[in-house]
Amino acid sequence: MRKLWRNDVFWNAAGSLLYALASMVLSFFVLRLMGPRDGGIFGFGFSTFGQQIFIIAYFGIRPFQITDMAGEYRFSEYHFARRLSSLFALLSSLLFLWLMVSIGSYDGIKAELLFLLSFYKLLDGFSDVYESELQRRGRLYLAGQSLFFRTGLSMLSLMLSLLVTGNMLFSCILMDLTQLLGLYLFALLPLRSLGELPGSEVFSGEKRRGRSLRLLRSTSFLFLSAFLDFYIFSASKYALDLRLGSESSGIFNVLFMPTSFIYLVANFLIRPMLTRLATERREGRYEDFSRSCRFLILAVFLMALGISLTSLLLGEFGLQIFELLLGMRYRGALLREILAFLILIAGGGFYALANVQYYILVTMRRQGTIFFSYVLVSFLALVSADRAVQCAGILGGAVCYLFLMAILFLFFSLSVLRGLWRMQNDGKNGTREGKAE
């Protein structure tokens, strides 16, 4: 049992780490080898547009599936639901790209590359249904191996193909084919090896479809929240790609990378505390819950402040290292955007703090409040990002990102304060919040 647990921890960490690094490593590689235009298209397609398509295919199903130990839904139903969400993701990708080509924002080559990159991410989302089932059946290490080897082989295929052929379109096709092969070898076959896929012959096709649609309705709230959250996070990237083109989009993507690091570090602080927060709330220990919330917020604030101050002191040196990695053609391209870089770091700090508040609100079961906040800030992103980029270019995109993250943090903070006040009042009255609801 202990050996299995160690395998679970090792392979889950290895897969998650490689998956997190893939975007940064590949973006740097393509920018250096293929130049600003192709590098900009790749960075936008892989980490922004492709990730938005991944969220549609994913549809918030994984948290539901891996915690469904009672077998409320069978694998065949999860599988059919993911097929539907992946089809929706495919149609969404095609519709968006058709619109962009129709209005003259994208040429044919850019649209083809973005489709291939979004299809790669769609396959990523579809693979997750098998990896989630492996985790649900107590084989998290197999899910981690699948993520690790799928990602690693896809990265290698793209990089080797670009080195040999120098053809971006062919290399993206090869990466997609490698992803399909990885899905079969490392996700589907290991699940089959555990025995017959559970629930594959239990219900008729019509009944299975009905239950799968019910599952999608159950997770639609999670999906919409995740979709809007990522749109807010990426609104400046969309505006830059649309208004300034792929080269500026590629530079902005490099400047943006450290904000993802802040988010990852914040999650290392947040996730170990989630069980404690849930236990304190369930047991009605509202003072302890409030104290844990304050501790978590302070810890992430100090982390974000430390990274921001370090960036202020060493930001110029860090950008010089980035330029060295990217090659001579990028000399000075990042350093002249150092103000935008520092503003993005500050925005990343606000996003990390907003994520703390998000998890606190989830623990309080305030999903409606979360969704309402996302809708409001998404509207602000829609009306402000394009204008900010038109007015001030990359700097305008950075300022818009900081503004949106600060507003999201403010909305979540007010909701957390209100929730804590209500919980403390309920505690004083001798009632538990869960019963009051």
> What is the DSSP secondary-structure string of 397-427?
HHHHHHHHHHHHHHHHHHHHHHHHHHHHHHH
Would you kindly state where each structural domain of the chain is located, as residue ranges? 1-202, 220-437
Ramachandran class of 327: left when φ > 0, alpha when ψ lies in -120 to 50, beta otherwise: left
Quick count: other Cβ atoms within 10 Å of Cβ 406? 17
Residues 27/42, Cβ–Cβ less than 8 Å: yes
Give the 3-state secondary structure of residue 407: helix
Task: Identify which of 76, 77, 82 has the alpha carbon closest to the alpha carbon of residue 197.
Answer: 76
Give the per-residue pLDDT at 430.
54
Going 334 to 339 to 343 to 345, the CA torsion angle's sign is: positive
Quote the tokens at residue 407: 């507003």
Residue 333 phi/psi, 5° resolution?
-65, -35
Quote the tokens at residue 304: 């974000």
Output the tens digit of pLDDT for each of the chain's 437 residues.
Answer: 566 667 887 898 899 889 988 999 999 999 999 999 999 999 999 999 999 999 999 998 887 888 787 888 889 899 999 999 999 999 999 999 999 999 999 999 999 999 999 999 999 999 999 999 998 888 889 999 999 999 999 999 999 999 999 999 999 999 999 999 999 999 999 999 887 564 444 445 567 688 889 989 888 888 998 999 999 999 999 999 999 989 999 999 999 988 877 887 787 777 667 767 777 777 778 788 888 888 889 988 998 899 889 888 888 899 999 999 898 888 888 999 999 999 999 999 999 999 889 888 887 878 788 899 999 999 999 999 999 999 999 999 999 999 999 999 999 999 988 888 877 776 556 544 444 44
Give the per-residue pLDDT at 3.
63
Quote the tokens at residue 410: 């403010």
Query: Which one-letter DSSP state was computed for residue 346?
Result: H
Task: Identify which of 356, 362, 369, 364 has the alpha carbon closest to the alpha carbon of residue 272.
Answer: 356
Whole-angstrom Cα distance, residue 377 to residue 142?
39
Give the length of the chain: 437
Whole-angstrom Cα distance, residue 28 to residue 325?
8
Residue that is written with structure tokens 């999860």 in the block: 78
Residues 102/95, Cβ–Cβ less than 8 Å: no
Task: Identify which of 181, 52, 189, 208 has the alpha carbon closest to the alpha carbon of residue 125.
Answer: 52
Residue 435 phi/psi, 5° resolution?
-70, -35
Q: Is 268 exposed, middle or buried (0-12, 13-18, 19+ CB in 10 A)?
A: exposed
Give the per-residue pLDDT at 221.
84
Query: Which one-letter DSSP state was computed for residue 197?
Result: P
Q: Compute the radius of gyration of the chain from its Cα atoms.
A: 22
Give the per-residue pLDDT at 202.
46
